[in-house]
Chain A
């Protein structure tokens, strides 16, 4: 079984976001970029399935600028077998990404696509659902448990109010939630080995897919600030403030 894992290069989760003063976007220059945390979980799950003998090959794919090769190398160092970089300097919308991934799925014919439920930059939570729709494959989003058996996969999903379990025919698309697994750290020898693993580059423009954005970003602004709060020195003072000042009790 072949598994395709799309990964995205995003501003590192621990870096505080600053909005550009001209409202054109957020500051990304010279800041630490990393693999989207949900995608690390997806790579980990795929590599675990390979280690268990369920999968025979794990391919990581990223769509973005030349530097996204670093993100792919991280995936290779975690245990993926080879990588595909679809190169573009444009920031693409989830629908365009899904169309490119559909193309890759067409040439690679994976049995399973495992990807993060959302990227922590645009917070869209769309690409996996869109890819599954375009391929006409079944979907199991927000997975916290994945079990492959023969030609089907059973997935437990995190939903509001609890958990839901689905069974899907393969091929299928799965998106990962936080509690699916804890991604491993790549060891230094594996980082070195990853440098020798194959990384194929494709120009996004060469695929003949319309990548033009449909949504126009008018402006990007900082969130409204809260007015400064006050410290209280006792439970009595807190209760008093909540009753008389905030009037929420």
Chain B
């Protein structure tokens, strides 16, 4: 009963979400191996080997895996699957892309986006944008799981690094080709893992006002910037800042919602934050129902004052 975890990385750094998936796997128990498939990715394998409780790290270093495409990665995972009971990854856009393909090739259902391990075959996961929580028992011989990173701690580093083993696998001829990737930019902490998130909504009114009001506050709090769907659709913020059912799910220690009404779609992405602060001029806004501290005020006065007083 062992687990293979697909590492997420950019060939240089291990994505912190992978350590969350390892933490979840440690809860259902059994040995844990990590697969690092990429190109010139030795540093990633080293970082993965440091995580506590890892048996070994399998490294597949080949240009075919450089861009994390779903087709070659799913072929490798299916090739390695006979040695494992569980195949898991973090439920990031990377994990969501690859893992259902693996599950289908193994003819098993995937358990998506788990938020809790009840016992080794039973998991909790939210449905209906977090409006309900399902308890799911997987009865298949192989269990394919994606792990909601914000619901688990990070697996800490252990005493001595796990052994790293090079493997090879010839991926099938590609029918899809990587063309380019463009980063959204931004220099602050990563939204998915930040301790503090400052998020803006439609009430910010323009991209300029979004930036001038929220950037200084985020800098003061060393926070990542987030946005509601309305703010993204209006062009105030790039789309990978979107917090919600269809964007990122975050659970920071402190979430500051500025000018966000609190549509159910948005709440699904942030309502498990430890402390929620809402600032909005509409006292009836649904965001105040989930906020620990609510302030009814003009955001254009209250936010600069807050930034000043921190």
Contact = CB atoms under 8 A, between A and B. Distances in A.
Interface of A: 11, 13, 16-17, 19, 26, 93-95, 98, 118, 120-127, 129-134, 137-142, 144, 154, 158-169, 172, 177-179, 213-224, 226, 229-236, 238-239, 241-242, 246, 248-249
30 contacts: A11-B128, A26-B127, A95-B108, A121-B127, A123-B113, A125-B112, A129-B70, A129-B96, A129-B97, A129-B104, A130-B100, A133-B74, A133-B105, A137-B175, A163-B184, A164-B181, A165-B181, A168-B176, A215-B139, A216-B138, A220-B127, A223-B126, A226-B271, A229-B292, A229-B293, A230-B294, A231-B296, A235-B309, A246-B292, A248-B254
Contact of B128 (A17, A127, A132): A17
Contacts of B71: 138-139
Nearest to A11: B128
Given A95-B108, A179-B239, A19 B181 contact: no
A213 B109 CA distance: 9
A231 B175 CA distance: 56
The 6 tightest CB contacts between A and B, nearest first, are A17-B131, A138-B176, A129-B100, A130-B104, A126-B100, A133-B104
Contact of A215 (B69, B102, B137, B248): B137
B291 interface: yes
A248 B139 CA distance: 42
Which secondary structure characterizes the binding site on chain A? mixed
Contacts of B271: 223, 226
A16 B99 CA distance: 30
B115 to A, nearest CB: 10
B40 interface: no
A249 B109 CA distance: 43
B264 interface: yes
Interface in B229-264: 229, 232-233, 238-240, 245-246, 248, 253-254, 264
In which size bucket is the chain B interface? Answer: 35 or more
B302 interface: yes
B277 A17 contact: no
B239 A158 contact: yes
Contact of B129 (A98, A120, A132, A233): A120
A131 B254 CA distance: 40
B122 interface: yes
A166 B309 CA distance: 47
B108 A214 contact: yes
Nearest to B278: A229
Interface in B167-214: 174-184, 192, 196
B263 to A, nearest CB: 10
B99 to A, nearest CB: 8
Given A214-B139, A242-B293, 7 more contacts: A123-B125, A123-B129, A142-B97, A160-B248, A168-B175, A169-B175, A246-B293
Contacts of A179: 232-233, 239
B132 to A, nearest CB: 5
B240 A160 contact: yes
Nearest to B290: A226
Contacts of A223: 126, 130-133, 271
A238 B181 contact: no
A246 B275 contact: yes
B310 A249 contact: yes
B80 interface: no
A160 B93 contact: yes
